[in-house]
Amino acid sequence: MQTAVQGKQCEKKETNQFLSKEDYKQIVQDCIDRDNAVNSEISISHLKTQFLSYKSNFVKEGTLKEYRTVFKGLEDFEKHKGTKLILREMDGKFLDQFEVFLSRKKNTNDGDKEGLLNDTIHKYISTLKVFLKWCNDNDYLVHPDVFKTQKTNFKKKAYNEIIALSESEIQKLMNHDLSDRPSLERVRDLFCLLCYTGQRFEDLINFDPKDIKNNAWDFISVKVKKRVIVPFEGYIAPAKDILERIGYSVPKISNQKFNEYIKTVGKLAGMDEIIKITRYSGKQKLVIEKRKYDFLSSHVGRRSMVTNLLSRNVPITLVQKLTAHSDIRTLMKYESANTDSLIDALNKF
């Protein structure tokens, strides 16, 4: 800007003139037009490194991995189109095309099956918008239409199709003898702690015995940075028994390995019921059939606690305090239409 003003002043000086208000306005507009012309050609690959470097100061590796996954999807889309993706050209139409591409993209995590599930596509789009908002906040030209579309074109999973374990199923896991498989026994204990406390995996992995106060687990949640108090009473009481048995030493294990081993535990415990769930990939309806143990994961523990407390008619606002969900609507998604939980609840009357 300063160079442009000096240049214009030199031109005026040669003719014994001064810069007018209109001259300054024109200089500003010329600079804006020039910057826009440069920014409009900026590619996604150029901004990716800056974005990841900035975000690495604030988010965890798991979140950075999600960002990288989306960028990989964008790179695959570039190859598919045969042209580089330009930031300014990423409008509502681009999002539509990207969604269709993802619905047909091979899913390497599921035997190279064609098409990501719509739940995953929704996650891709919401994560992409985090990147685009960062671009916009840093004065890179982002097409305004990209923020107008609030929802994707593809429906998500059917409501209430969430896998959870009933109280009797959790007890079945607890009663299964794994003394000859100590590593699996530790995973089983960790899973049951998740089922009874309803806490996030990372919070349980970071468990500190010093946080046990007045017969309650009193700690600051890693994710939401809020104080959470989990009293060892009623439904949650068995968690205290497990902690005492393992000497308040929660085993350290990665979430990935845990999710792998808990499926083996479920299989050994005979959780081989066939479960059918409905998912969508694009417009295609998919009915997925698996043994129940194949659905087990750390998140199933958290869902199970919510489901079982709601089955006991515990007010959802109290459940929300235990789980530290900021939005009660999010909490409702964990409620499972679990027949065993319904039977357990009815037997209590």
Looking at residue 229, its pLDDT comes to 96
What is the CA angle 207-213-217, rounded to 5?
A: 40
Same domain, 54 and 24: no
pLDDT digits (tens, 9 = 90+) for 13-31: 444 455 566 755 555 454 4
Distances (CA, A) of 275 to 156, 165, 289, 292: 19, 12, 6, 6
Most confident range (mean pLDDT) of 136-145, 278-287, 339-348 is 136-145
d(CA 138, CA 268): 53
User: Rounded mean pLDDT of the chain?
Assistant: 83
Assess if residue 291 is contained within a domain. yes
pLDDT digits (tens, 9 = 90+) for 228-257: 999 999 999 999 999 999 999 999 999 999
Report the sign of the C-alpha dihedral through residues 314, 317, 318, 321, in that order: positive
pLDDT grade, residue 55 (50/70/90)? very high
**pLDDT more than 90, % of the chain:** 53
Assess if residue 155 is contained within a domain. no
Domain span at 342: 167-346
pLDDT grade, residue 89 (50/70/90)? confident
Distances (CA, A) of 110 to 62, 64, 106, 116, 288: 20, 22, 9, 9, 12
Assess if residue 127 is contained within a domain. yes
Same domain, 49 and 33: no
Residue 83: which CATH number? Answer: 1.10.150.130
Higher model confidence: residue 84 or residue 115? 84
Residue 124 has pLDDT above 80, yes or no: yes
Same domain, 108 and 204: no
Distances (CA, A) of 302 to 226, 309, 326: 17, 11, 15
Same domain, 216 and 301: yes
The single residue listed with the structure tokens 């999807």 is 73
Same domain, 225 and 132: no
Assess if residue 247 is contained within a domain. yes
pTM above 0.85, yes or no: no
Same domain, 50 and 28: no
Same domain, 180 and 213: yes
Assess if residue 157 is contained within a domain. no
Tally of CB atoms within 10 A around 166: 21
Of 210, 200, 300, 194, nearest to 249 by C-alpha is 210
Residue type at position 89: E
Residue 85 has pLDDT above 50, yes or no: yes
What is the CA angle 122-159-166, rounded to 5?
A: 115
The single residue listed with the structure tokens 């906040």 is 137
Same domain, 212 and 329: yes
pLDDT grade, residue 281 (50/70/90)? confident
- 61-81 vs 92-104: helix crossing angle, rounded to 10: 90
The single residue listed with the structure tokens 């946080």 is 211
Same domain, 180 and 298: yes
Q: How many domains does the chain have?
A: 3
Answer yes or no: are the C-beta atoms of 78 and 72 closer than 8 Å: no
pLDDT digits (tens, 9 = 90+) for 190-220: 999 999 999 999 999 999 999 999 999 999 9
**pLDDT more than 70, % of the chain:** 77
Of 99, 282, 76, 133, nearest to 85 by C-alpha is 76
Same domain, 269 and 194: yes
Beta strands in the chain (DSSP E): 106-107, 113-114, 216-220, 227-231, 274-281, 284-291
Looking at residue 335, its pLDDT comes to 58
